[in-house]
């Protein structure tokens, strides 16, 4: 028989073990905490923040002051655990169905997609004009889904084009091209490229292989050097004037040693100085270009010995070579040269030890980087991907600095600033590769442009004026900055011109509030700004076509673009309310300015295209 004392001992032991070792809670098991009932004060006590005894129907405080005692309505009854779980499950299922529906809608129709959420190939494929997709059996209203099912042809599989491409300005993303803007969809890239390559071959034809054929008379060389310092170096101040003078003297004292790379740099200086001396030479005969003999010998010396490697001197030679190619209106060859300089300068920037130890070397590399950056971005109108390499690290490279009033340094900094403002939202891809409708971004960039103008140094500032005709500026750098300012504003707000032309092409615009009066007024105001800035750009850029300078190629592309935009929108009924004044006169001025460069084959083709559109418009 069991002893009661033993049973009592066992019970005490088990109780002690239970209290000393708390039972482990299983995963998912809920804990029932003790609930404490909380009194809810009446509304008067809550407002006066007095203590309420919560008596019903009237608390003691309200009874004393003879006020009506009002309590909040009772909270909803607590739901059972099962109902809570059921509701949470149903909420999850509802959200999943909503996500599936959104994914299906996005896959079937990719409308108003931001360029940052799309693959680069998708953005670039969307630039193609609608007639191209129709020719291969695709629907322009459903381009992306169609491309997934149909193997693209040669045209659609070529995402990037080399040459002037205005198709990005012809329509909005995933929208048909308006009939008025079809001239912007011209596909003559192969012909453009052949003409550019042929022009480049003529430039290097019959190049002399030695220095004996050059006229190196000291007085002649001195005049070329002075002309270079006065007319060319302020555009790209990558070498201080005093340093350049010492370099020329040292090279001349060494009898222009062909095995010294400094000789190549000095010959590029002479070639550019000769071109600057005869800047009114607008003919396009490669053998008759001023300084061509110096340029050809310098190019041969630069490429003769690959042992020169990656040095700052090599980068400077490539930059000056590219500038001469810009003088001679050879953009494709200039891109090839400046790309080599960009790769080399990135390597030089990795030499951190030397950069820290040698401030002059560091400043030289920084200036070379920003010169490559500016040239590459100016060439984006021909090669849209030319700025991608340097765009990746441009925020890490400091802007150039100078401890004295160096000629051209203000221009250099101002041009770098405006390039960064305009290219940052596009991540370095050419502006004509984008057709997205982003009015908020356009307004923000326009606001930054106003701040940029307000902070310009006094020697470069010009008064903002909307009156026509504009007052001419004698300084070519100020003229170029002013022309660029109006050109960028024209391109920024051009999307609203296209929207006015496509607003009736699809009823889906109405779901986005397009027919809202305020939105409609905003779109018309922006479209009017775009066309008005196009006219202002024509008047601002006219003085830049009277002679050659390093930015002549960029000036040509800007003037050609706005002229095409003005011709395509000339007296279009849908744009009756936003037509600018003096548009006919501006088109005539643009044609007259462009004809100064008609000796160049590729440019002559563009002039003929403008003349054909003018005849069609009755101008």
Q: What is the pTM of this model?
A: 0.72
Domain residue limits, the chain: 42-72, 108-192, 206-401, 437-619
Q: What is the per-residue pLDDT for 294?
A: 92
The span from the CA of 73 to the CA of 310, in Å, is: 81
- Each residue's pLDDT tens digit, 196-209: 888 888 887 766 66
Listing DSSP states for 224-266 in one string gives HHHHHHHHTTTTS--S-HHHHHHHHHHHHHTT--TTSHHHHHH
Token pair recorded at residue 557:
């592309």
- Each residue's pLDDT tens digit, 557-572: 999 999 999 999 998 8
Residue 187 has pLDDT above 90, yes or no: no
Residue 404 has pLDDT above 80, yes or no: no
Q: What is the per-residue pLDDT for 247?
A: 92
Q: What is the 3-state secondary structure (H, E, C) of 9-48?
A: HHHHHHHHHHHHCCCCCCCCCCCCCCCCCCCCCCHHHHHH
- Each residue's pLDDT tens digit, 516-529: 678 888 889 999 99
Tokens 């002479």 appear where? Answer: 270
Average pLDDT over residues 143-158: 32
Q: What is the per-residue pLDDT for 87?
A: 59
The span from the CA of 415 to the CA of 382, in Å, is: 19
Residue 109: exposed, middle, or buried by beta-carbon count in 10 A (0-12, 13-18, 19+)? middle
Show Cβ contacts of residue 167 under 8 Å, excluding neighbours closer than 6 positions.
127, 128, 129, 184, 185, 432
Higher pLDDT, 17 or 350: 350
Residue 215 has pLDDT above 70, yes or no: yes
Higher pLDDT, 194 or 20: 194
Residue 594 has pLDDT above 90, yes or no: yes
CB 536 within 8 A of CB 512: no
Lowest mean pLDDT among 141-145, 200-204, 535-539: 141-145
Residue 6 has pLDDT above 60, yes or no: no
The span from the CA of 488 to the CA of 244, in Å, is: 35
Q: What is the per-residue pLDDT for 287?
A: 85
* CATH number of the domain located at residue range(s) 42-72 in this protein: 4.10.240
Q: What is the per-residue pLDDT for 264?
A: 92
The span from the CA of 293 to the CA of 316, in Å, is: 19
Show Cβ contacts of residue 564 under 8 Å, excluding neighbours closer than 6 positions.
166, 183, 184, 609, 610, 613
**24: confidence class by pLDDT, cuts 50, 70, 90:** low
**Torsion on CA atoms 501, 188, 134, 114, rounded to nearest 10:** -60
- Each residue's pLDDT tens digit, 458-502: 889 888 877 777 888 888 999 999 999 999 999 889 989 998 888
Q: What is the per-residue pLDDT for 506?
A: 46
Q: What is the per-residue pLDDT for 302?
A: 86
What angle do the packed helices 218-231 and 241-253 form, to 10 degrees?
Answer: 160
């Amino acid at each position: 028989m069991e002893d009661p004392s033993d049973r009592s001992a066992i019970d005490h032991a088990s109780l002690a073990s239970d209290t000393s070792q708390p039972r482990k809670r299983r995963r998912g098991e809920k804990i029932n905490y003790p609930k404490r009932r909380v009194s809810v004060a009446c509304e008067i006590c809550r407002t006066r923040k007095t203590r309420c005894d919560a008596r019903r129907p009237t608390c003691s405080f309200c009874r004393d002051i003879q006020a009506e005692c009002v309590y909040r309505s009772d909270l909803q009854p607590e739901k059972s655990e099962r109902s809570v779980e059921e509701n949470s499950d149903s909420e999850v299922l509802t959200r999943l169905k909503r996500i599936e529906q959104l994914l299906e809608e996005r896959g079937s129709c990719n409308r108003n997609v931001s360029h940052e959420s799309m693959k680069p190939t998708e953005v670039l494929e969307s630039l193609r004009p609608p007639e191209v997709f129709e020719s291969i059996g695709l629907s322009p209203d459903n381009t992306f889904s169609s491309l997934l099912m149909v193997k693209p042809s040669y045209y659609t599989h070529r995402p990037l084009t080399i040459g002037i491409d205005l198709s990005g300005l012809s329509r909005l993303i995933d929208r048909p091209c308006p009939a008025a803007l079809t001239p912007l969809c011209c596909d003559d890239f192969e012909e453009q490229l052949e003409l550019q390559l042929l022009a480049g071959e003529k430039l290097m034809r019959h190049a002399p292989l030695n220095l004996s054929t050059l006229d190196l008379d000291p007085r002649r060389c001195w005049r070329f050097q002075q002309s270079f310092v006065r007319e060319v170096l302020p555009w790209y101040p990558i070498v201080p004037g005093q340093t350049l003078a010492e370099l020329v003297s040292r090279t001349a004292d060494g009898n222009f040693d062909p095995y010294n790379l400094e000789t190549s740099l000095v010959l590029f200086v002479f070639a550019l100085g000769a071109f600057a001396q005869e800047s009114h030479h607008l003919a396009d005969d490669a053998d008759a270009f001023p300084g061509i003999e110096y340029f050809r010998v310098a190019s041969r010396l630069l490429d003769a010995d690959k042992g020169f490697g990656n040095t700052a001197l090599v980068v400077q030679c490539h930059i000056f070579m590219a500038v001469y190619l810009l003088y001679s209106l050879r953009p494709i060859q200039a891109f090839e040269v400046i790309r080599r300089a960009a790769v080399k300068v990135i390597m030089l920037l990795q030499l951190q030890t030397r950069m820290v130890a040698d401030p002059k070397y560091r400043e030289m590399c920084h200036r070379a980087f920003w010169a490559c950056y500016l040239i590459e971005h100016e060439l984006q109108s021909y090669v849209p991907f030319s700025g991608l390499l340097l765009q990746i690290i441009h925020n890490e490279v400091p802007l150039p600095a100078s401890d004295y009033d160096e000629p051209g340094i203000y221009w250099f900094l101002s041009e770098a600033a405006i390039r960064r403002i305009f290219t940052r939202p596009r991540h370095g891809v050419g502006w004509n590769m984008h057709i997205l409708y982003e009015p908020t971004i356009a307004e923000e960039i326009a606001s930054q442009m106003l701040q940029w103008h307000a902070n310009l140094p006094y020697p470069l500032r010009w008064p903002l004026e909307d009156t026509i005709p504009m007052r001419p500026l004698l300084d070519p750098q100020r003229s170029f900055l002013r022309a660029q300012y109006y050109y960028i504003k024209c391109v920024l707000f051009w999307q609203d011109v296209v929207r006015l032309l496509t607003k009736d092409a699809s009823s889906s615009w109405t779901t986005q509030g397009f027919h809202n009066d305020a939105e409609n007024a905003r779109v018309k105001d922006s479209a009017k700004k775009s066309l008005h800035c196009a006219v202002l750009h024509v008047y601002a850029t006219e003085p830049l076509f009277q002679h050659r300078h390093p930015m002549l190629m960029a000036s040509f592309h800007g003037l050609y673009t706005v002229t095409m935009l003005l011709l395509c929108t000339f007296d279009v009924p849908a744009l009756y309310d936003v037509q600018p004044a003096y548009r006919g006169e501006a088109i005539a001025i643009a044609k007259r300015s462009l004809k100064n460069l008609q000796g160049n084959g590729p440019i002559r083709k563009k002039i003929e295209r403008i003349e054909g559109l003018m005849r069609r418009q009755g101008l």
